[in-house]
Amino acid sequence: MEFIDLPPMLQAAGSVRLPGSKSISNRVLLLAALAEGDTLVEALLDSDDTRVMRNAIVALGVEVAEEGEALRVSGCGGRFPKLRADIFVGNSGLSIRTLVPAIVACLSGGDDAAAEVRLSGVPRMHERPIGDLVDGLKQLGARVEWLGEPGYPPLALKPALLGAERVSVRGNVSSQFLTGLLQAAPLVARDKPLVIEVEGELISRPYVEITLNLMERFGVRVEREGWSRFTVPAGQRYTSPGRIAVEGDASTASYFLAAGALGGGPVRVVGAGRQSIQGDVKFADALAVMGAEITWGDDWIEARAPASGKLKAFDLDLNHIPDAAMTLSVAALFADGPSTLRNIGSWRVKETDRIAAMAAELRKLGATVDEFPEALRVTPPAELRPAVIDTYDDHRVAMCFSLATLGGAYVRINDPKCVNKTFPEYFQTFAGITRPVPVLAIDGPSASGKGTVAARVAAALGFDHLDSGALYRIVALAALEKGVALDDEAALAGLAAALPARFEGDKVLLDGRDVSDAIRSEACSVGASRVAALPAVREALFWRQRAYRRGPGLVGEGRDMGSVIFPDAQVKIFLTASAEARADRRYKQLIDKGMPANMDDLLRDLRERDERDSRRAVAPLRKEDDAALLDTSDMTVGQAVDFVMAEAAALR
């Protein structure tokens, strides 16, 4: 499984130009395809979902050409030229739900009896309901054949004359059904008006407003009575507005605005603002309810943390911003109490069952989550735990959880490429506005001076100091004390995973006992080197070591700080010295502590240990290409510290 590890972040600030809105891009592509005349579409989003729509209109015979950064769509004037096609819609709900009614309308009254358009998608798409929409189309006379499970894609659309003047559709499963019918309506209402009635409460209304707004830009007027009855007057045709620029994506804006609120800020998103036609800009109001400071411009929004520094818990009806609301469920981790997200039942039929998915993944970070049929309550933990997040092929799950890093936790995102659905550049953009907790990694062989140098540098920088070797030494000590064999990998990994050890200043405590000296014995040195060669032991200590990365920063020393534990460390040093110099230092250390020491034995042990540490299969000791080499054979401690401090200047 591919993954991306996101380190804990100190803060977020900066400015982001939003990628084009998916909702607008896909609507504009279809309307431009159906319109009379060419439309030059600017700032179109390029992502999996928009590719789906673009490929679909091309498959239906519409010409599309790139013109610099823009796309020229040569409209077909109300009837797709090719009505024999197999269209793959991936996992784009908006695409299939708007294409189906438009194609059905084009199939009406044609003279090619063999015309047929089939639509299919990824397995999840075949679980997403479309039956209510098809029922509506059948009221008009459409011929639709289910190719799999009735009510779900894949399906085949066949020619049939559409006759009725009235169609009703459920409004409480997906507002995309209504959008699909509305967009196809002018193609149906050629001689007589078409009335669309919405059964039940209409959810996600702002998306329908986007639809109406864009239809108007393409010359079609819709009469609306409240949110339950829409009339499309007869004889209207889509006509190209010539050129149209796609607004920035307001749903995507939610991640960056939240980053500003959770990570200090200010973070500004450019491309959607006060004048936006997208309902998701209202996400900023929800952040304001949490206490974030929001500033609005015509086409930008800026968010920063509340002056008090603490975000407030919320209880909100989020029916109007279902997508951006997912971001709020992660923001809830930063609130001062339990927060409730209400009226989000549509989450259940999205890319995945988002209520179940968000609950499961928020719990991994330590939150207490109560799941209801149409709501979610999130109680933040005292402290976030590092978590490995599953993403369910859902771009928004992946993007949302990146925000947890602003709470000081490491987050591993599995299958990060799922963001390609709407924002292929997401993680790079997120990295551009966030500052990871700095790490200075010092690796090197025994007695090269890592511990001594790391302690001094950490004190000078005000950072924490992680002596990772001590963890392996404690495992060895615990094993020796409990009589666990030093090659019993499973038992040792068990010990390592549940190690009741703590660092307290210079002291190392095991089960509350001071074992600072005991772990430095030669028996423990040799034992540590042996247990450290076992992959399961290293695995068991992996997240534990990462948990030491906290603000304001960390100096980590060992053998694999820069290669495995903190591969993104901003500064990496490989500290070494000749074997003789190191044996000599170890000898002096032991004598100073009143411990027995023999120079020949020490030199031999040290060479054996170097050999074992360098030759082992997992995380062997070696200088990484991006680490600075420091040979201290002929240096004083002060000189070594000065060298590292000079390198550390890069952290500021």
Ligand X SMILES: Nc1ccn([C@H]2C[C@H](O)[C@@H](COP(=O)(O)OP(=O)(O)O)O2)c(=O)n1
Ligand Y SMILES: Nc1ncnc2c1ncn2[C@@H]1O[C@H](COP(=O)(O)OP(=O)(O)O)[C@@H](O)[C@H]1O
- Which residues does the annotation place in the binding site? 22-23, 27, 93, 128, 174-176, 204, 323, 350, 354, 396, 421, 444-452
Of 442, 647, 452, 472, nearest to 558 by C-alpha is: 442
| DSSP at 565 | I
Q: Binds 359, which of ligand X, ligand Y, none (CB < 5 to 8 A, cut-off by type)? A: none
Binding residue (CB under 6 A) for ligand Y from 294, 453, 510, 619:
453
* Residues contributing to the annotated binding site for ATP: 444-452
Asked if 384 and 361 touch (Cβ cutoff 8 Å), the reply is no
The conformational region for residue 68 under phi > 0 = left, psi -120 to 50 = alpha, else beta, is left
- Residue 309 CA to residue 264 CA, distance in Å, equals 8
Of 499, 491, 454, 441, nearest to 473 by C-alpha is: 499
Binding-residue pattern over the window 419 to 458 for ligand X, x denoting contact by CB under 6 A: ---------------------------xx-----------
Number of residues that bind ligand Y (CB under 6 A): 16
Residues 529-588, interacting with ligand Y (CB under 6 A): 585
* Residues contributing to the annotated binding site for 3-phosphoshikimate: 22-23, 27, 174-176, 204, 323, 350
Asked if 112 and 383 touch (Cβ cutoff 8 Å), the reply is no
Q: Could you say whether residue 558 binds ligand X (CB under 6 A)?
A: yes
Residues 597-626, interacting with ligand X (CB under 6 A): 609, 613
Binding residue (CB under 6 A) for ligand Y from 621, 632, 643, 644:
632
Name the residue nearer to ligand Y (CB basis): 15 or 589: 589
Of 398, 423, 425, nearest to 411 by C-alpha is: 398
From the CB of 339, what's the least distance to ligand Y, in Å?
46
From the CB of 582, what's the least distance to ligand Y, in Å?
7
Q: Binds 468, which of ligand X, ligand Y, none (CB < 5 to 8 A, cut-off by type)? A: ligand X
Binding residue (CB under 6 A) for ligand Y from 448, 468, 529, 576:
448
Query: Residue 254 in 3-state DSSP?
Result: helix
Q: Is 307 exposed, middle or buried (0-12, 13-18, 19+ CB in 10 A)?
A: exposed
Name the residue nearer to ligand X (CB basis): 129 or 556: 556
From the CB of 453, what's the least distance to ligand X, in Å?
12
Name the residue nearer to ligand X (CB basis): 28 or 471: 471
Residues 560-579, interacting with ligand X (CB under 6 A): 560
Using alpha carbons only, how large is the chain's radius of gyration in Å? 31
From the CB of 492, what's the least distance to ligand X, in Å?
13
From the CB of 567, what's the least distance to ligand X, in Å?
13
The catalytic residues are: 323
Q: Could you say whether residue 39 binds ligand X (CB under 6 A)?
A: no
Stretch that binds ligand Y, among 110-118, 415-423, 444-452, 492-500 (CB under 6 A): 444-452
Q: Which residue has the tokens 């959607």?
A: 272
Asked if 302 and 188 touch (Cβ cutoff 8 Å), the reply is no
Q: Which residue has the tokens 């673009």?
A: 54
- Residue 212 CA to residue 175 CA, distance in Å, equals 13
From the CB of 511, what's the least distance to ligand X, in Å?
20
Q: Could you say whether residue 589 binds ligand Y (CB under 6 A)?
A: yes
How many other β-carbons are positioned within 10 Å of the β-carbon of residue 537?
26
Query: Residue 272 in 3-state DSSP?
Result: coil
For residue 602 the two structure tokens come to: 């020490």
Which distant-in-sequence residues (6+ apart) come within 8 Å of 623 by Cβ? 443, 574, 576, 629
From the CB of 469, what's the least distance to ligand Y, in Å?
7
- Residue 636 CA to residue 632 CA, distance in Å, equals 7
Q: Which residue has the tokens 């599953």?
A: 390
Binding-residue pattern over the window 387 to 426 for ligand Y, x denoting contact by CB under 6 A: ----------------------------------------
Amino acid at 582: R
Query: Residue 604 in 3-state DSSP?
Result: helix
Helix (H) or strand (E) run with residue 26 in it: helix 22-34
Q: Which residues bind ligand Y (CB under 6 A)?
A: 444, 446-453, 585, 589, 632, 635-637, 640
Q: Which residues bind ligand X (CB under 6 A)?
A: 446-447, 468-470, 472-473, 525, 528-529, 532, 558-560, 609, 613
